[in-house]
Amino acid sequence: MFGVRHFEISDLERVVEIASGSLTESYAPEFFLNICTFYPDCFLVADGCDAKTAGFIIGIRNDCSSARILLLAVDESHRGEGIGSRLLGRCLHMLQLHNAKSVTLEVGVENVKAVSFYLNRHFRIKELVKGIYNDGSDAYVMEAVL
Ligand SMILES: CC(C)(COP(=O)(O)OP(=O)(O)OC[C@H]1O[C@@H](n2cnc3c(N)ncnc32)[C@H](O)[C@@H]1OP(=O)(O)O)[C@@H](O)C(=O)NCCC(=O)NCCS
């Protein structure tokens, strides 16, 4: 069983490790420290049964009624255990408590598993954005109404 809680500075090293092993773009530790400073409410981590941080999610508010999921990643060795679903569910709940009515996110068109993960969790594909990533690849903008 795993628990979900707010990010703490002691999670930084592990979060950077999970991000670099899971995501195509790279993120410096300062990126996560800035998120933790300016948007701490929906920066959540999940602890695996070994008490090691197994995944994280970052949600931020765009304006008074809309929000964004910036990043979601689960360590490869813990995928398929429900951690991503739990992180997403908790983050959406917290964004809803902050009055968000809709949430968007970007996901690489070639990331079939993640696109299907979000489609199975009330998101729909809203638009295609060409060349958004550093390697020139495209993303879908996906949206869920809360
Ligand atoms: C997308 C991601 C966050 C999902 O996390 P997760 O903890 O594996 O999610 P869950 O266990 O809650 O659900 C995974 C889904 O894949 C299925 N699955 C089963 N075994 C799996 C495995 N070994 N690996 C991945 N998915 C598996 C689950 O049954 C579930 O299917 P469903 O959508 O039909 O319910 C994770 O795959 C990941 O970190 N991917 C790399 C980073 C990424 O693409 N992030 C999203 C873009 S920002």
- Binding site membership of 114 for ligand 1 (Cβ less than 6 Å): yes
CB 72 within 8 A of CB 84: yes
Tell me what pLDDT residue 142 has.
98
CA–centroid distance, 88 to ligand 1, in Å, is: 11
Q: Is the pTM of this model over 0.85?
A: yes
Tell me what pLDDT residue 2 has.
79
All structural domains of the chain with their residue ranges = 3-145
- Atom 19, ligand 1: residue with shortest CA distance: 80
Give the Cα separation of 116 and 105 in Å (integer): 13
CATH fourth-level superfamily of 3-145 = Gcn5-related N-acetyltransferase (GNAT) (3.40.630.30)
Bridge-based pairing of strands 66-74 and 102-108 is: parallel
Give the Cα separation of 40 and 6 in Å (integer): 8
- Binding site membership of 27 for ligand 1 (Cβ less than 6 Å): no
- Binding site membership of 57 for ligand 1 (Cβ less than 6 Å): no
Encode the chain (146 residues) as per-residue pLDDT tens digits.
679 999 999 999 999 999 999 998 999 999 999 999 999 999 999 998 777 899 999 999 988 899 999 999 999 999 999 999 999 999 999 999 999 999 999 999 999 999 999 999 999 999 999 999 988 999 999 999 99
Tell me what pLDDT residue 52 has.
87
- Binding site membership of 71 for ligand 1 (Cβ less than 6 Å): yes
- Binding site membership of 88 for ligand 1 (Cβ less than 6 Å): no
Q: How many CA atoms lie within 13 A of 55 on its CB side?
A: 27
Query: Secondary structure of the chain: what % helix, strand, coil (to 5)?
Result: 35, 30, 35
Tell me what pLDDT residue 49 has.
77
- Atom 40, ligand 1: residue with shortest CA distance: 73
E strand or H helix that includes residue 37:
helix 29-38
Please report the atom of ligand 1 found closest to the CA of residue 85: 12
Give the Cα separation of 78 and 63 in Å (integer): 33
